[in-house]
């Protein structure tokens, strides 16, 4: 939004209110500059200084919630004296250069391919400028917030202080209300929008708590398992069933042309993130015995990394805490990568899960410079530690800030709703994924299991959006496609799901039809350079004629998924039973395991890890099995169709390991 164009009375500056219904707030007064005594131009000088001061201190709307879903009801005004933590995200330096930095180390045509950055270099390049820190501190002080009350984050990218509702309302020219969610009964403190002084906008990314309402837990992209023991009373083992009935490691190796792992190279770890879903380790030796080849030793378990109170499953009671998501992730990856090392990042205490949706506490642990000060990154979005819940099992230690080891590959099978989170918040976190890309980390995410509709969450029977592209929010009656987060971020490799066409591998693959493989186009992020041509080509040749009220049909938006892999009837042992499990939760770890084998091949020749994959993948579409059958329906439509070339159902297709290995071995 542009600043004021007309001269404002220099003695008072009108504060633009953030709410359409409440009109203007009382104007704030600023000190009128004095004319220089004896200067014949004093009046003229005063006029221009005053005018500049007026323009600089004029308030401009900084962030506004597009609209409020009818699931949220505004109740009462917040109590002015109530104290809340107030977080201000300082604008980082060089954000405008992020895409170029990542491209320099990940584009196969770049002379700097593979020259990944250190964490120290990243902190030096991106940390907020000292001028921004000082400007925000001075603004707070002028507004009555003493510097002794203010703390800076570890990376000097955040400012936090405890303030009253009245202080927050005065700072952000807004009014705070309590909102109640009809389905869950949750209460949120929020405003409809907020403003900042014109001169502060270049220093601040966003502030919290402000417009955010939905603090919703992550959703695992795993489908209902099929109990194979009911069909095969003798149990299922490797080679006992055709691949069309049960996907095992033999099927995957034949389908994607890779062999067993060969070495346990130090520094070639793969990590899996889990939230409130626990790995039941006694299932592992059963899986190894029946479904690994060569058989993995029975005592093989992942390195356990607890983040903010993450716990192991209760090994004495299988019903307590164990999850099919974790079983699927680790068994699939171990069967592909062993003897490579596998890590389990168990994130969060399992109690404070109402707001663990957006992965920030994991990023905090991986990168200490990302942390906010003493507790959750953003109230009502990320969890606070020590855990404020009235529950003795909650984690009472401090928020983990750095210290968790990085792995070459990170695989995550959880997702969120783009339309449920503020744009500023998503962009800030996307930059953090870019920083991992700069360090040579391949981040793999499942694309989702509800086609273009996204997942049920936060009390909504569906997560489709309302039809107005200028006022997007999750709507129970919505018909607009709902992209996922964080696969909308262009620095993540998103993986969709396929299934076999027939009883065996020779039948080929198609888009999975038992559920909709998540895919579509972001309403926030533009198509990155590596993807721009294929997105435009899909839209011009195969884009459905639904119009902009159904999806972002500009042909210029970030599209997902990037690739796909088998995502149905994948052999999994859960609580002692053999299951066939489906979902992009199966596809993501399979693809991540293959990436680890690519790293193994490069490390064996003295080269570094592949790092951020997408530029190289899109430059080599022939290294994929193009999927041209199937669709991903949702929101009352047929969704998109799988087509020749990239499409928002199966991406570039499924991997051919031999071709990908040759591509990456040819790179420096």
311 versus 288: the higher-pLDDT residue is 288
Instruction: Kindly indicate the confidence band of residue 360, based on its pLDDT and cuts at 50, 70 and 90.
Output: confident
Owning domain of residue 400: 219-665
Among 24, 47, 64, the domain boundary falls at 64
Q: Which of 64, 90, 108 is the last residue of a domain?
A: 64
Among 49-58, 275-284, 379-388, 567-576, the least confident range: 379-388
Q: Is the pLDDT of residue 365 over 60?
A: yes
For the cut 50, the answer to whether the pLDDT of residue 41 exceeds it is: no
Q: Residue 510 in 3-state DSSP?
A: strand
Please provide the average confidence, as pLDDT, over all residues in the chain: 82
- pLDDT for 388 equals 39
Q: Which two structure tokens, joined as six digits, stand for 476?
A: 């129970």
Q: What percent of the chain is predicted at pLDDT more than 70?
A: 77
Query: Comparing 80-89, 342-351, 354-363, which segment has the lowest mean pLDDT?
Result: 354-363
Mean pLDDT of 599-606: 96
The mean per-residue pLDDT over the stretch 393-404 comes to: 53
Nearest to 391 by CA among 346, 347, 352, 348: 352
Report yes or no: 641 and 514 within 8 Å, Cβ to Cβ.
Answer: no
- Name the pLDDT band for 389 (thresholds 50, 70, 90): very low
Residue 176 within a domain: no
Q: Within a domain: residue 141?
A: no
How does residue 21 score in pLDDT terms, banded at 50, 70 and 90? very low
For residue 157, pLDDT beyond 50: yes
Say if residue 36's pLDDT is above 50.
no
| Domain contains 547 | yes
Decide: helix, strand or coil at residue 647. Answer: strand
Question: How many whole angstroms separate alpha carbon 499 and alpha carbon 243?
Answer: 10
Mean pLDDT of 514-529: 96
The answer on pLDDT for 374 being more than 70 is no
| Residue 267 belongs to some domain of the structure | yes
Is there a domain that residue 509 lies in? yes
Contact between 273 and 361 (Cβ < 8 Å): no
To which H or E segment does residue 480 belong? none
User: What are φ and ψ of residue 259, in 5° steps?
Assistant: -115, -175
pLDDT bucket at 357, cuts 50 / 70 / 90? very low
Q: What is the mean pLDDT of residues 10-22?
A: 30
Give the mean pLDDT of 466-487: 85
The catalytically annotated residue of 54, 335, 522, 585 is: 585
| Range name among 30-44, 164-178, 362-376, 637-651 with the lowest pLDDT average | 30-44
pLDDT of 391: 41
In eight-state DSSP terms, residue 196 is E
**Could you give the C-alpha distances from 25 to 1, 19, 167, 189, 313, in angstroms and in order?**
19, 10, 14, 20, 53
Q: How far is CA 350 from CA 215, 312, 589, in A?
A: 15, 11, 22
**pLDDT confidence bin for 311, thresholds 50/70/90:** confident
Within a domain: 142: no
**359 pLDDT more than 90:** no
pLDDT band at 57 (very low <50, low <70, confident <90, very high): low
Name the E strands within 333-459: 342-347, 409-412, 414-417, 442-446
Q: DSSP for 590-613?
A: HHHHHHHHHHHHHHHTT-----S-
Predicted local confidence at residue 348, as pLDDT: 72
The response to whether 76 counts as a known ligand-binding position is: no
As a whole number of angstroms, the distance between CA 663 and CA 58 comes to: 55
- Reported as a pLDDT band with limits 50, 70 and 90, residue 364 is confident
Active site (annotated) includes residue 329: yes
**CATH code of residue 307:** 3.40.50.200
Set 92, 175, 274, 329: catalytic member: 329
Assess if residue 257 is contained within a domain: yes
Residue with tokens 């131009």: 41
Q: Is the pLDDT of residue 373 over 80?
A: no
Structurally, how many domains does the chain consist of? Answer: 2
What is the CB neighbour count within 10 angstroms for residue 304? 14
Question: Would 114 be classed as within a structural domain?
Answer: no
Alpha helix ranges (H) inside 295-422 = 324-337, 360-366
* Residues 79-132: tens digit of each pLDDT: 999 999 898 999 999 999 999 999 999 999 999 999 999 988 998 899 899 999
Distance CA 535, CA 556 (A): 7
Compute the distance between CA of residue 590 and CA of residue 655 in angstroms, rounded to an integer. Answer: 10
Q: For residue 404, what are its two tokens?
A: 């968790």
By three-state DSSP, how is residue 177 classified?
strand
Q: Is 645 annotated as a binding residue?
A: yes
Provide the Cα torsion 354, 358, 360, 365; round to 10°: 80
Instruction: Tell me if residue 306 is catalytic.
Output: no
pTM of the predicted model as reported, rounded to 2 decimal places: 0.84
Give the model confidence (pLDDT) of 417-461 as tens digits.
898 888 888 999 999 999 999 999 999 999 999 999 987 655 555
The answer to whether the beta carbons of residues 460 and 466 sit under 8 Å apart is no
Torsion of CA 261, 267, 272, 275, to 10 degrees: 160
* Dihedral over alpha carbons 281, 283, 289, 292 (to 10 degrees): -80
pLDDT, residue 590, reads 99
- How many angstroms separate the CA atoms of 449 and 455, rounded? 7
ω before 561 within 30° of 0 (cis)?
Answer: yes
- Taking the alpha carbons at both ends of the chain, their separation in whole angstroms is 45
**Residue 118 to residues 135, 153, 406, 438, 592: CA-CA distances in angstroms?**
29, 20, 12, 8, 23
At 648, is the pLDDT very low, low, confident or very high (cuts 50, 70, 90)?
Answer: very high
As given in the structure block, the two tokens for residue 227 are: 């109990």
Told to judge if 407 belongs to the known catalytic residues of this protein, a careful annotator would answer no
How many whole angstroms separate alpha carbon 641 and alpha carbon 632?
Answer: 7
Higher pLDDT, 388 or 91: 91
Last residue of a domain, one of 40, 64, 88: 64
For position 390, what pLDDT does the model report? 40
Judged against a pLDDT cut of 50, whether residue 384 lies above it is answered with no
Is 524 in a helix, a strand, or coil?
strand
Task: Report the 10 Å Cβ neighbour count for 505.
Answer: 21
Least confident of 305-314, 523-532, 629-638: 305-314
Is the confidence at residue 332, as pLDDT, over 80? yes
Has residue 33 got a pLDDT over 90? no
Q: Average pLDDT of 173-190?
A: 86
Task: Taking residues 526-546, report their average pLDDT.
Answer: 98
What pLDDT is stored for residue 266 in this prediction?
A: 80
Q: Is 627 annotated as a binding residue?
A: yes
Using DSSP bridges, classify how beta strands 409-412 and 442-446 pair: parallel, antiparallel or unpaired: parallel
In 32-71, where does DSSP find H-type helix?
Answer: 42-57
Cα–Cα distance, 28 to 118 (Å, whole number): 46
Residue that is written with structure tokens 């987060």 in the block: 485
Cβ-based burial of 251 (10 A; exposed 0-12, middle 13-18, buried ≥19): buried
Residue pLDDT, tens place only, 216-252: 445 566 655 555 444 444 566 776 688 999 999 999 9
* Options 107, 214, 217, 325, the catalytic residue: 325
């Amino acid at each position: 939004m542009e600043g004021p164009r007309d001269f404002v009375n220099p003695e008072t500056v009108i504060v633009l209110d953030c709410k359409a219904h409440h009109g203007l707030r009382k104007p704030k007064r600023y000190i009128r500059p004095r004319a220089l005594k004896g200067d014949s131009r004093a009046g003229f000088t005063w006029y221009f200084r005053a005018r500049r001061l007026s323009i600089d201190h004029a308030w401009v709307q900084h962030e506004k919630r597009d609209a409020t879903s009818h699931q949220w009801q505004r109740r009462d005004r917040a109590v002015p004296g109530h104290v809340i933590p107030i977080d201000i995200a300082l604008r980082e330096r060089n954000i405008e250069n992020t895409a170029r930095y990542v491209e320099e180390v990940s584009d196969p045509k770049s002379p700097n391919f593979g020259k990944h950055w250190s964490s120290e270099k990243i902190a030096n390049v991106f940390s907020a400028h000292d001028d921004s820190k000082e400007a925000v501190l001075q603004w707070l002080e002028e507004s009555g917030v003493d510097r002794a009350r203010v703390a800076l984050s570890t990376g000097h990218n955040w400012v936090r202080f405890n303030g009253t509702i009245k202080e927050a309302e005065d700072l952000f020219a807004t009014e705070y209300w309590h909102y109640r969610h009809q389905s869950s009964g949750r209460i949120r403190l929020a405003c409809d929008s907020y403003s900042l002084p014109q001169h502060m906008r270049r220093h601040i990314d966003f502030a919290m708590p402000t417009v955010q309402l939905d603090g919703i837990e992550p959703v695992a992209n795993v489908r209902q398992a099929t109990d194979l023991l009911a069909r095969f009373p003798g149990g299922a083992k490797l080679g006992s069933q055709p691949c069309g009935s049960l996907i095992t490691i033999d099927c995957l190796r034949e389908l994607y042309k890779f062999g067993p792992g060969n070495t346990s190279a130090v520094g070639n770890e793969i990590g899996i993130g889990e939230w409130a879903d626990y790995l039941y380790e006694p299932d592992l030796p059963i899986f190894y015995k029946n479904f690994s080849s060569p058989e993995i030793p029975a005592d093989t378990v992942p390195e356990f990394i607890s983040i903010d109170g993450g716990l192991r499953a209760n090994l004495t009671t299988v019903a307590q805490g164990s999850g099919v998501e974790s079983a699927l992730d680790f068994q699939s990856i171990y069967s592909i990568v062993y003897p490579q090392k596998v890590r389990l990042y168990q994130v969060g205490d399992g109690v404070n899960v109402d707001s663990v949706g957006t992965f920030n506490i994991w990023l905090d642990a991986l990168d200490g410079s990302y942390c906010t000060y003493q507790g959750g990154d953003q109230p009502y979005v990320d969890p606070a530690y020590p855990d404020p819940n009235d529950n003795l099992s909650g984690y009472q230690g401090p928020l983990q800030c750095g210290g968790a080891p990085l792995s070459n590959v990170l695989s995550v099978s959880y997702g969120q709703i783009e339309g449920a989170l503020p744009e500023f918040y998503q962009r800030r976190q996307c930059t953090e994924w870019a920083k991992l890309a700069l360090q040579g980390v391949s981040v793999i995410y499942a694309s989702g299991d509800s086609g273009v509709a996204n997942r049920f969450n936060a009390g909504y029977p569906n997560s489709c959006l309302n039809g107005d592209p200028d006022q997007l929010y999750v709507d129970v009656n919505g018909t607009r496609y709902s992209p996922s987060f964080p696969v909308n971020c262009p620095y993540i490799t998103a993986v969709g799901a396929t299934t076999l066409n027939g009883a065996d591998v020779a039948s080929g693959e198609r888009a999975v039809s038992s559920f909709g493989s998540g895919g579509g186009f972001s309403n926030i992020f533009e198509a990155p350079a590596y993807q721009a041509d294929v997105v435009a080509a899909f839209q011009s040749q195969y884009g459905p004629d639904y119009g902009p009220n159904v999806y972002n049909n500009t042909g210029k938006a970030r599209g997902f998924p990037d690739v796909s892999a088998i995502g149905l009837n994948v052999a999994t042992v859960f609580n002692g039973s053999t299951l066939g499990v489906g979902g992009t939760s199966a596809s993501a770890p399979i693809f991540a395991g293959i990436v680890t084998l690519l790293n193994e091949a490069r490390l064996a020749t003295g080269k570094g890890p592949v790092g951020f994959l997408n530029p190289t993948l899109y430059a080599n579409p022939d290294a994929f099995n193009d999927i041209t059958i199937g669709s991903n329906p949702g929101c009352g439509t047929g969704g998109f169709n799988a087509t020749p070339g990239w499409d928002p159902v199966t991406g570039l297709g499924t991997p051919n390991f031999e071709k990908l290995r040759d591509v990456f071995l040819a790179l420096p």
